[in-house]
């Protein structure tokens, strides 16, 4: 049937007027079902019919029917907004609805059988003026309606049509409220964190897990961005009570992730493993220790049973999740059947049982216990050998709402498993992946109650109520081809399933609320909520508010010398007063009087003016007439006009004012009072005007001996005055503590600090308004005592003698300013531990390379600074970038990223710049065992030295001149290793990667192009029997080298070969089909250390195995479990018989690496297994990013 779900009606016609309005059959006003009996079907002549209207969600609806089809051979049925013509302009209503035709019941037939003969279709739509109806043009073929076997047309010539409607908010509306619509909220996506969001929602909705997280100990001093338990507690609490979507930024920061990680999509299964392991570690020693194992851990037994003798081998394993095959399995039960399927070990694949030799055996796996919360990872991603790539399996794969793992008389369990535990599970979550192997989107369907149809879809920030069919049937995958129709690709399907054991529901679905959270966490969250509400309120009020910042002499004294040095204040740190636009300036002055105690008539306000030299100074006094008449909004428009006619409703412009407190004598000359104020019994009015020919100058003080710097105050000076004329007032500002009586001092004008520093010394006798000074209101003069050395003047001329003068670093304030502006705080970290901050140093941007190294050496206690190597910071990856060559840069500024190097605080903030922990003010260091200039002339190789049994003995750094050959590197390796290496055997040097051998170096190969950052460089002693095949030390004559290259050596003349031997295991190593199909179809994973073996021309596998066991030092009992196979041209053979001639297998081999390499493989268990299916897989299932998930916190 080619129905088009959710298709708008093609033709609009008008039929007879509908009958009076009816009520839908429901008690829920937002949901209803209407049953319409259409009688005398065969005699209907109308093109279309409408049912009587019914109300759902405050809207009137009706069923729109085309009994003979809407330009089609199908009955057409739609849902129609009945009163659309009378609704207001711009109306809309979203509805999810089901339309059905009920079949006529038959005698003795079950209700489900009757329902199966009916027709049911569902969809959802946002109805509006442009689309008043929505439904199905091809609802049911006319021929099917007349088919008596279907029973859709009843015996009384009637048809029953049912509409079930649920009115809801459109999830795609910008103002959709997940909490109001569903009771749940989503998680914000940081860029590519949908995979994490779906997993976190699943874990949160396991209340026992949530409760355990709440009980993890945290302290008041913890920061959420640095504590995984605290960040997870805060996040879970927000999911529980917050009105909107919660942010995961604190959590990812606590993981040690940066923005790069947030935009890198990983595998949800791998994240699940890493997160659970990290939480398990954090829970140790606490009241919730063991929670992860208690919830998620189950146990299996891998067994091998001999058929004809009494011998059994067993190995027990724990798991946190199970990986189930999808390909070739129709449902979860089929996957479990395959999981426990018995593998026959007979014929050439017999099992060597200790004390019994080769025996027929049965190999498999059974479960000893299932966990309360069962996590099933579906193998939607597999390796395709034909394509030599990972592919996604979109095949249909069904999973039940109730999963009974006791089915088949407990066939999945071991005989000694606890049968008193009923392993019946209810589906809790379905994690869905939509997309392909190279990326996609994750979301989750979760049923928190575990009962009924209470499903919700958690898609990042959006949460919607869904039916069970959406959560389950729609995520089974692609349907098989039906009736010759092509298979329609379906890329969204279930990827992970979570089941909860029914008998554990009462414990798992427990109460987890605020009573379980520490009070200090709740207090922190309440404070965050209040701050968020405050910001929200301010945003709403912004169009009616004038943000006003007020600076006073007191605020300047508090900031200058501690927070800032340049300019007068840091405006961003001043409190913002939110004043309504219509407030008069006189009202504003009264509020300032109440706050400061300064009467309104002594308040003179100056507007801060942004100058062309990038400074911001109080430069324009507010006129008394403006004070008396203007509102705050009018004043802002006068002093800070909008940049264009259009004004942003939020209007971010503020009003920045400086309060000058005038003297009582000057206030007496103020304009007449406007009115008396009962609350403030002084005159209320404007302050006096600024006297003519006067400017407001500001003064700072610098002490060269202590490098103290502070704000003194301000003076209203005549324009034609000078430093000499103002000397008495300046001394009074300084006070005797700062400037002794009659002690000489100098004055400097602070002009600007961006883009370059400009400070000029003032001439005592030049008038302020002279062209040589040109001082105006807002200008700053810095006062300092003159500094004199014992031998004479150091800096300035004349004055008193300071005993500490010889130790003064910056005799004049301009030198001090230059030092402050050049300051740079650098965070130093060891290159080997790039995420651990060691210490900070306050340096200067202009410091030379040698000076930086000298400062670092002093901090580290290193005698020779040249043994330090610095490495730059990569701001994109938040990791070390490029080592700095010895004297390869001129100054510190060249070692730091441009943003860090050029940063200067907007108001000259020095302390802020030093204390701000910016991630780009970072350098990494190494302490070398030789001077860096000497090291840079050498090539350094990290070499893994292996013993004759292939095990790694040591890892050493070999350094030789860059022009050296491999033979020279081997000689240096011998020197470094000393007695660890034999003096009688040559060394072999090779490149390995991912447990494979890629290249063996010849002695005369140059080392300059060898890369130990990508390859693992390995050296080993060459066994005596392999010596004829060459080594990496012995320089051969040209003829000898040619013989080895052509295979004409003594060894190859006999037909002997030197082969690669690798360790491997297959996907699902303990389960599978019959042995042959099992070994051919499964993906091979290499592990461990590869090695060489010399094999004689006629030597059998049995002989090779015996020598390999001795070489590797493996116990005979363990070695007997190993199986051997031959790999060539990308394919792995069946298990080889001991009688197989090994050299013959390699006779036609290709000297190739990668997928086409030939090697002898030893198949056995990886001795360092991991607990989860994702980990055992060894690669990211989705193939999104091959960088492993790591949590550092």
DSSP per-residue string spanning 1040-1057: HHHHHHHT-SHHHHTT-E
The pairs formed by 910-914 with CB atoms below 8 angstroms and a separation of 24 or more are 910/564, 910/565, 910/820, 910/821, 910/823, 911/562, 911/563, 911/564, 912/563, 912/564, 912/570, 913/823, 913/824, 913/825, 914/823, 914/824, 914/825, 914/842
Q: Which residue carries 């003016």 as its tokens?
A: 609
User: What angle, rounded to 10 degrees, do the helices at 632-639 and 585-596 form?
Assistant: 100
Q: How far apart are CA 781 and CA 1124, in angstroms?
A: 88
Neighbouring residues of 710: CB distance < 8 A, sequence distance ≥ 6: 557, 560, 561, 700, 701
Q: How far apart are CA 335 and CA 700, in angstroms?
A: 80
Tell me the pairing of strands 1016-1021 and 938-946.
parallel
Number of H helices, E strands in the chain: 34, 53
Any catalytic annotation for residue 194?
Answer: yes
Spatial contact of 363 and 458, defined as CB atoms under 8 Å apart: no
Q: Which residue carries 């089929």 as its tokens?
A: 334
Q: Is 31 helix (H, G, I), strand (E, B) or coil?
A: strand
194, 276, 329, 569: the catalytic one is 194
Q: How far apart are CA 846 and CA 852, in angstroms?
A: 10
Closest to 265 in 3D by CA, of 495, 497, 441: 441
Q: How far apart are CA 183 and CA 177, in angstroms?
A: 9
Spatial contact of 124 and 7, defined as CB atoms under 8 Å apart: no
Closest to 121 in 3D by CA, of 599, 422, 472, 469: 469
Closest to 426 in 3D by CA, of 408, 444, 446, 400: 400
One-letter-per-residue 3-state SS of 240-282: HHCCCCECCHHHHHHCCCCHHHHCCCCCHHHHHHHHHHHHHHH
Tell the burial category of 1080 from Cβ atoms under 10 Å away from its Cβ (0-12, 13-18, 19+). Answer: middle
What is the torsion angle, in degrees rounded to the nearest 10, for the CA atoms of residue 416, residue 422, residue 425 and residue 426? -170
Any catalytic annotation for residue 441?
Answer: yes
Tell me the pairing of strands 603-610 and 837-844.
unpaired
Helix, strand, coil percentages, rounded to 5, for the chain: 25, 30, 40
- What residues does 828 pair with on adjacent strands? 839, 923
Q: Is 577 helix (H, G, I), strand (E, B) or coil?
A: strand
How many other CB atoms are there within 10 angstroms of residue 8's CB atom?
15
The enclosing H or E element of 801 equals: none
Neighbouring residues of 749: CB distance < 8 A, sequence distance ≥ 6: 759, 760, 761, 762, 773, 775, 779, 780, 781, 782
Q: Which residue carries 């209207």 as its tokens?
A: 53
**Taking the mean position of all CA atoms in its chain, how far away is CA 578?**
37
Spatial contact of 955 and 945, defined as CB atoms under 8 Å apart: yes
Tell me the pairing of strands 381-384 and 373-379.
unpaired
Count how many residues are written for the chain: 1193
Q: Is 1164 helix (H, G, I), strand (E, B) or coil?
A: coil
428, 441, 873, 1060: the catalytic one is 441
Q: How far apart are CA 671 and CA 673, in angstroms?
A: 6
Tell the burial category of 974 from Cβ atoms under 10 Å away from its Cβ (0-12, 13-18, 19+). Answer: middle
Read off the tokens for 299: 């146990």
Catalytic residues: 194, 441
């Amino acid at each position: 049937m080619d129905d088009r779900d959710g298709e708008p009606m093609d033709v609009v016609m008008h039929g007879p007027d509908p009958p009076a309005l009816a009520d839908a059959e429901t008690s829920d006003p937002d949901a209803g079902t209407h049953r319409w009996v259409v009688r005398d079907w065969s005699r209907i002549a109308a093109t279309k019919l409408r049912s009587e209207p019914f109300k759902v969600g405050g809207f009137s609806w009706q069923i729109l029917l085309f009994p003979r089809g809407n330009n089609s051979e199908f009955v057409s049925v739609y849902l129609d907004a009945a009163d659309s013509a009378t609704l207001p302009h711009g109306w809309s209503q979203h509805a999810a609805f089901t339309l059905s035709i009920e079949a006529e019941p038959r005698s003795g037939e079950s209700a489900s059988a009757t329902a199966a003969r009916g027709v049911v279709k569902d969809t959802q739509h946002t109805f509006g003026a442009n689309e008043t109806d929505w439904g199905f043009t091809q609802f049911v073929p006319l021929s099917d309606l007349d088919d008596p076997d279907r029973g859709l047309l009843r015996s009384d010539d009637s048809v029953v049509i049912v509409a079930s409607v649920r009115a809801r908010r459109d999830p795609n509306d910008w103002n959709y409220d997940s909490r109001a619509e569903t009771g749940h909220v989503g998680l914000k996506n940081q860029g590519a964190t949908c995979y994490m969001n779906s997993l976190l929602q699943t874990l949160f909705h396991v209340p026992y897990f949530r409760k355990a997280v709440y009980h993890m100990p945290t302290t008041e001093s913890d920061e959420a961005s640095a504590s995984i338990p605290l960040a997870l507690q805060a996040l879970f609490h927000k999911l529980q009570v917050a009105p909107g979507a919660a942010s995961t930024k604190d959590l990812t920061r606590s993981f040690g992730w940066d923005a790069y990680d947030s935009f890198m999509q990983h595998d949800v299964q791998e994240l699940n493993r890493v997160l659970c392991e990290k939480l398990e570690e954090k829970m140790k020693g606490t009241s919730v220790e063991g929670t992860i194992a208690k919830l998620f851990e189950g146990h299996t037994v891998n067994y091998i049973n001999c058929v004809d003798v009494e011998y059994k081998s067993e190995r027990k394993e724990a798991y946190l999740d199970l990986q189930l095959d999808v390909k070739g399995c129709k449902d979860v039960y089929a996957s479990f059947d395959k999981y426990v399927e018995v593998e026959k070990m007979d014929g050439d694949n017999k099992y060597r049982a200790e004390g019994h030799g080769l025996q027929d055996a049965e190999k498999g796996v059974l479960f000893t216990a299932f966990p309360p919360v069962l996590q099933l990872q579906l193998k939607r991603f597999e390796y395709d050998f034909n394509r030599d790539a990972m592919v996604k399996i979109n095949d249909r794969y069904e999973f039940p709402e109730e999963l009974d793992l006791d089915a088949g008389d407990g066939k999945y369990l071991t005989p000694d498993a606890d049968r008193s535990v009923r392993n019946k599970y209810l589906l809790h979550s379905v994690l869905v992946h939509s997309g392909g192997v190279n990326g996609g989107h994750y979301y989750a369907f979760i049923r928190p109650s575990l009962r009924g149809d209470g499903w919700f879809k958690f898609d990042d920030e959006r949460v919607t109520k869904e039916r069970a069919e959406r959560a389950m049937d729609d995520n089974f995958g692609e349907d098989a081809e039906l009736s010759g129709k092509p298979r329609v690709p379906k890329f969204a399907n279930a990827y992970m399933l979570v089941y909860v054991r029914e008998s554990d529901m009462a414990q798992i679905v427990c109460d987890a609320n605020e009573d379980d959270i520490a009070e200090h966490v709740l207090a922190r969250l309440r404070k965050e909520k209040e701050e968020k509400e405050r910001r929200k309120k301010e945003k709403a009020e912004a169009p009616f508010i004038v943000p006003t910042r007020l600076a006073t002499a007191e605020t300047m004294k508090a900031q200058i010398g501690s927070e800032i040095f340049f300019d007068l204040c840091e405006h961003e740190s001043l409190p913002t007063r939110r004043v309504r636009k219509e407030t008069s300036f006189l009202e504003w002055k009264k509020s300032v009087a109440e706050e400061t105690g300064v009467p309104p008539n002594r308040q003179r306000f100056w507007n801060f003016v942004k100058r062309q030299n990038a400074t911001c100074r109080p430069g324009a006094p507010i006129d008394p007439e403006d004070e008396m008449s203007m509102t705050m909004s009018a004043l802002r428009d006068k002093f800070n006009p909008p940049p264009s006619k259009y004004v942003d409703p939020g209007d971010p412009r503020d009003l920045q004012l400086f309060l000058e407190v005038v003297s009582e004598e000057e206030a007496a000359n103020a304009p007449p009072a406007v009115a008396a104020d009962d609350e403030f019994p002084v005159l209320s009015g404007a302050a006096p005007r600024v006297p003519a020919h006067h400017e407001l100058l500001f003064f700072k003080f610098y002490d060269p001996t202590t490098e103290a710097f502070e704000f003194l105050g301000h003076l209203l000076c005549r324009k034609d005055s000078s430093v000499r004329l103002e000397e008495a007032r300046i001394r009074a500002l300084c006070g005797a503590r700062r400037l002794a009586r009659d002690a000489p001092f100098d004055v400097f004008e602070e002009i600007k600090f961006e883009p370059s520093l400009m400070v000029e010394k003032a001439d005592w006798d030049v008038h302020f308004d002279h062209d040589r000074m040109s001082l105006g209101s807002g200008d700053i003069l810095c006062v300092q005592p003159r500094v004199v050395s014992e031998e004479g003047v150091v800096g300035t001329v004349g004055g008193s003698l300071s005993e500490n003068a010889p130790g003064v670093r910056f005799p004049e304030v301009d030198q001090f300013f230059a030092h402050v502006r050049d300051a740079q705080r650098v965070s130093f970290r060891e290159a080997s531990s790039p995420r651990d901050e060691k210490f900070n140093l306050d340096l200067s941007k202009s410091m030379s390379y040698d000076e930086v190294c000298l400062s670092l050496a002093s901090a580290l206690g290193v005698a020779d600074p040249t043994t330090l190597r610095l490495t730059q910071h990569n701001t994109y990856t938040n990791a070390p970038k490029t080592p700095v060559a010895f004297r390869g840069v001129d100054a510190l500024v060249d070692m730091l990223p441009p943003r860090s190097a050029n940063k200067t605080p907007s108001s000259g903030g020095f302390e802020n710049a030093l204390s701000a922990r910016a991630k780009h003010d970072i350098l990494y260091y190494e302490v070398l065992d030789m001077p860096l200039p000497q090291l840079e002339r050498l090539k350094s190789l990290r070499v893994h030295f292996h013993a004759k049994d292939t095990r790694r003995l040591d890892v050493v750094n070999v350094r030789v001149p860059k022009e050296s050959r491999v033979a020279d590197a081997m000689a240096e390796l011998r020197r470094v290793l000393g007695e660890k290496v034999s003096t009688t055997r040559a060394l072999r040097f090779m490149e390995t990667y991912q447990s494979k051998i890629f290249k063996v170096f010849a002695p005369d190969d140059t080392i300059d192009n060898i890369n130990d950052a990508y390859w693992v460089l390995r050296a080993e002693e060459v066994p005596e029997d392999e010596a004829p095949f060459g080594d990496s030390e012995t320089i051969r004559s040209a003829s000898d080298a040619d013989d080895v290259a052509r295979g004409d050596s003594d060894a190859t003349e006999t037909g002997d070969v030197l082969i690669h031997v690798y360790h491997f295991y297959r996907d699902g190593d303990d389960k599978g089909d019959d042995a042959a199909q099992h070994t051919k179809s499964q993906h091979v994973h290499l592990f461990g250390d590869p090695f060489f073996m010399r094999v004689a021309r006629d030597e059998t596998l049995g002989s090779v195995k015996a020598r390999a066991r001795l070489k590797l030092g493996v116990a005979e009992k363990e070695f007997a479990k190993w199986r051997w196979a031959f790999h060539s041209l990308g394919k792995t053979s069946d298990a080889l018989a001991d009688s197989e001639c090994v050299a013959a297998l390699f006779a036609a081999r290709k000297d190739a690496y990668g997928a086409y390499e030939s090697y002898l493989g030893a198949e056995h268990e990886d001795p360092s297994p991991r607990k989860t299916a994702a980990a055992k897989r060894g690669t990211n299932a989705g193939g999104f990013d091959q960088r492993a998930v790591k949590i550092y916190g």
